[in-house]
Chain A
Amino acid sequence: MKALTFTLRETPPERLDLSPLTPEKLASVDKREIGKIRLGMSKRGLTVSDLFKVSGSDLKTIVFEGGSERFDRVGTGLVDGTIRVVGDVGAQAGRQMRAGLITIEGNAGPHAGSCMRGGRLEIMGNAGDHLGGPLAGELAGMNGGVMIVRGRAGAFAGDRMRRGVAAVLKGCGEYAGGRMIAGTLVVTGGVGRLPGYLMRRGSILLDRAPQELSPSFVECGAPDSSFAAVMDRYLVADGILKRPLLGKAPGKFGGDNAVFGTGEILFRR
């Protein structure tokens, strides 16, 4: 069976809510009704057939041929199957996904992987601010699963992260792992100001010493860490990194003592 493919006709004239186009939600829609699903966020009422040419029938594998920074909420609440976007996406890609695989071949907007609980989200380009972070009022951000950004991420990557692994490979903005509750955030390529700001627990793994830390972090020397070795092996085995990140006896800062203070920032010395 060929993948269910949505081929974009032209750049959409308004923001789109693509959350109805997941395997689970489409399973209860008659094949002929798919074209009538409303995606536009304005009163214009754009539908699937206004925007896309639809082909294929395998609901478990969805492909968007062509993307746009106006593609919001791609793969929201995904529980099974795969979604691949050949192009960019907008805000909240993979929000609250629980399982399955989402691949974005271009760039993603803010709140990518927001509050995801499981599965795998891979962004080949850059991601916006608040990677994995919660929306206003929510208490925890990323809560499980694996998220990989092959490019750069904006500010507040891993905001309020609680579980899972998030990796950013070409550096990220300020406040990486800010207000982290637990979980693991990996950043290569440098972080901006104040990584781990107000982190309670959790680990932030870096390929170099952080430039500017909150004064409530404490230098902890370079203690032996079997966790570092386990994590290094995992990152390589999973194809996230090509070579080990931390190496032997990585440096460590403990914090943030302004809050709970049992978090750590490990970095290659």
Chain B
Amino acid sequence: MLTRIKGGEIVDPVNGRLGKGDLWIEDEAIVEAPAGRRADRTIDATGCVVMAGAIDIHSHIGGGNVNTARLLLPEHHAAHAQRPAETPLSNAGWSTFQTGCLYAKMGFTTVVEPAMSPGSALHTHLELADIPIIDKATLAILGNDDFLLSMIRDKASSQMIEDYVAWTVGSSRALGVKVINAGAAAAFKENVRTFSLDDVVPSYGVSSRKIVKTLQAAVTTLGIPHPLHVHCNNLGAPGAADTAAATIAAAEGVPLHLAHLQFYGYGTEGKRRFSSEGARLAELVNSTPEVTIDIGQVMFGQTVTISSDVMRQFTSRGTASPKKTVIFDGDGNGGGIVPYRYRDDFYGSVQWAIGLELFLLINDPWRVFFTTDHPNGAPFTAYPDLFALLMSRDARNAAAANLSQKALALSTLGSIDREYTFEEIAIMTRAAPAKLLGLKDRGHLGAGALADVAVYRKGKDIAQMFREAAFVIKNGDVVVEDGAIKNYRWGRALRLNPPPDKAMVRRLEAYYQERYGLSLDWFDFPDSAIRRDEPFGEVSCNA
């Protein structure tokens, strides 16, 4: 079927296409304007902006911890009756079904769950397969697991470590590797309660830095397109900016991605010893071209923090609101679920300002990514409001007027005039994520690209424009029309498929038999376990 999206303002920075024009789609792909053929279907995009479907690189939408959060907070997904708007936490969590629908309505067509414990890969993929419309991908967590730490301690060859990383990524069907507070979860089991980049994991004698560097080297050598995704040490601690700075310096010319940098932007100035180091971190990112970051912007309201950083979550139990938590000191990373309400008080205002400083002071939209670390900084439904804050200085000033002025005085936000353009938004939320993840078939509107398209009706209210897309097309299907879902379909989970090394498989089989009395089959599964026609889409590694 031939579709023509007519008369829209096309924003496609990858192919240098900016301005009014038509976009042609045949079946699942974007095509050049065909000569002498009539469209079977014409979509009128007059007065609209046409972009590729957006890609979210860091959003906790599935897996064990997400499900534990649902169990901890049953009061906000009462399934038996329509949920009244005033229910506590009514904006904090959703079913898989709603996750897919809400993302699609905003024009997002690919979302990455960034923290999949390899041991619960099957659970995660079953849950992701239940999210309709959008494509998904996962990052596998490594760096606190006994097998890897033992190999590093025993000075295993880099070849062997690469084989282990490749097996983990392949068997868990991941698109990349994430390391969460490297070594801290292992140290936590030895009653360590603070852990920094050069601290050493007891019993292993391995520093956090060593773990990060080892994994970074393995990921790079294996040709995994997405650089190692690092959740640094000391998340949320005043003075964490020093840790982030040290981690940025540790990239040493090799690509490295730092997740939710906002949560590390905290200095120790002022009466409360809590201030913004946003400008300093932004400057560091600007001067370190091998580093990419995502923000983890804080927006105000109720949410729930979900993290495999068990040390951090254990420390923040006291701030839980409502007062209940789950801390899981499990194998590998474990995790913690701590409900939290971001208030527009001094601390909340500092956090809010740091995120925006990072967005606005990092010059290169190819290296800064748009996230709230859903649901940790804010649920992803806050994205439209965040777009408005980035694209309009007036909106920012209006929002800042209601916050703690003492807090804002400790940041540089008030002096920043920058406003994001549509082109920069298209880079930050489409082109750059596709490049970062190695997804060559999306993020742009050139001929041959997958027909994932978002059409937004231009208006004065930027938030409204991004909240309800005029049209969203996924794989050539019109799935959203005027902000309402028109068509349900099943997306795929994007994965890498590096071939497993036979010797490593034998070694792992012996390890799991000896340590747990379990077969390695417990940690792998056939594709047919996911009851979809095509559960996975394969992405190739770099040569």
Contacts and interface: CB of A to CB of B under 8 A. Distances in A.
Contacts of A136: 74-75
Contacts of A41: 81
A30 interface: no
B19 interface: no
A219 B237 CA distance: 47
Interface of A: 17, 41, 135-139
B20 to A, nearest CB: 47
A198 B112 CA distance: 43
A181 to B, nearest CB: 12
A135 B81 CA distance: 14
B76 to A, nearest CB: 8
A139 B321 CA distance: 11
Nearest to A19: B84
Interface residues of B, number: 9
A137 B74 contact: yes
B115 interface: no
Nearest to B81: A41
Interface in B313-371: 322-324
A232 to B, nearest CB: 35
B75 A138 contact: yes
Contacts, number: 14
B73 interface: yes
B73 A139 contact: no
B73 A137 contact: yes
Contacts of B323: 139
The majority secondary structure among interface residues of chain B is loop
Interface in B51-81: 72-76, 81
Contacts of B74: 136-137
B31 to A, nearest CB: 45
B324 A139 contact: yes
14 contacts: A17-B81, A41-B81, A135-B75, A136-B74, A136-B75, A137-B72, A137-B73, A137-B74, A137-B75, A137-B76, A138-B75, A139-B322, A139-B323, A139-B324
Interface string B477-506: 000000000000000000000000000000
B91 to A, nearest CB: 16
Given A136-B74, A137-B76, 12 more contacts: A17-B81, A41-B81, A135-B75, A136-B75, A137-B72, A137-B73, A137-B74, A137-B75, A138-B75, A139-B322, A139-B323, A139-B324
Nearest to B73: A137
Nearest to A134: B75
A137 B323 CA distance: 11
Contacts of B324: 139
A17 B323 CA distance: 30
Contacts of A138: 75
Contacts of B73: 137
Contacts of B75: 135-138
A41 B81 CA distance: 8
A41 B72 CA distance: 26
A136 B73 CA distance: 8
Contacts of A17: 81
A137 B73 CA distance: 6
Contacts of A137: 72-76
A135 B324 CA distance: 15
Nearest to B71: A137
A250 to B, nearest CB: 34
A135 B77 CA distance: 12
Q: Which 3 residue pairs of A and B lie closest in terms of their CB atoms, listed nearest first?
A: A137-B75, A137-B74, A136-B74
A139 B339 CA distance: 13
A196 to B, nearest CB: 22
B73 to A, nearest CB: 6
B412 to A, nearest CB: 40
A247 to B, nearest CB: 39
A8 B382 CA distance: 46
A245 to B, nearest CB: 34
Contacts of B76: 137
A135 B74 CA distance: 9
Nearest to A139: B322
B85 to A, nearest CB: 14
Contacts of A135: 75
Contacts of B72: 137
Interface in B190-231: none
A136 B77 CA distance: 11
Nearest to B76: A137
Name the residue in A135, A137, A138, A139 with the highest tally of chain B Cβ atoms < 10 Å from its Cβ: A137
Interface string B285-325: 00000000000000000000000000000000000001110
Contacts of A139: 322-324
Nearest to B72: A137
A136 B72 CA distance: 9
Nearest to A138: B75
B135 to A, nearest CB: 32
A136 B81 CA distance: 14
A19 to B, nearest CB: 9
Contacts of B322: 139
Interface in B78-105: 81
